Amino acid sequence: MPQDRLRLAMIQENPTVGDLDGNAALAITHITENRHADLIVFSECFVTGYPLGDLVLRPGFLRDTDRAVSRIRDHVIATGGPPVLIGAPIAGTGLPFNAALLIEPSGSTRVVRKTELPNSDVFDERRTFAMAEPDSQGPLTFKGFRLGVMICEDMWHGRVARHLSDELADVLIVLNGSPYQGGKHEVRLANARARVRATGLPLLYVNQVGGQDELVFDGGSFTLNPDGA
């Protein structure tokens, strides 16, 4: 019987770029500590840390990332959950994809690929990642709900949210690796509220926190009701 509500744990954490074993262990710690959640949501590229730059193009890195994802999946299977929605790069036919993985206790893993790739300031994702087709992905059915999953830049443009709404999503969930700059949180909220107004859907925004090279990630995770509150 489908559930009439979901209990989500939103993990605002500081993964380390390239520390696949450490990030997997950190994810497993949060899974263990949130046993009563229906779904645990991590940030963008949590398994590898973010941003990755050319590291994601190195031979063997995606293979090692798959091993770290398998370690997390094995834990979810062995403990019976809870399910996990977590960011990680995955292989493509050419360049890899920036992806979100929904891992369930059955071992089933479903994938959402990032559509909008930032290519300004500190980001150069169009050079290192493949872009998913904007209309090729729909909501993920999960415990009676349809989860409209977006990855960071996807929220800053309306077409991904509109497509998910057209495909009957019940909620928008956004995995982020969004660095700090003055006034950034207000800009994020304004964009999120625009997506909520356009779709009439609630929105959950999970961002990483901590430092990576010259970047500071300020967290600032939030949720919005359908009225924008």
Q: Which of 13, 44, 125, 153 is catalytic?
A: 44
Of 13, 45, 152, 153, the catalytic one is: 152
In the annotation, is 45 catalytic?
no
Which residues, at least 6 apart from 227, have a Cβ–Cβ distance to it below 8 Å?
196
Euclidean distance between the first and the last CA atom of the chain, given in angstroms as a whole number: 30
Interatomic CA distance for residues 8 and 167, integer angstroms: 22
Q: Is 114 a catalytic residue?
A: yes
Question: Which of 13, 104, 114, 153 is labelled catalytic?
Answer: 114
- Nearest by Cα to 45 from 121, 109, 101: 101
Active-site amino acid positions: 44, 114, 152
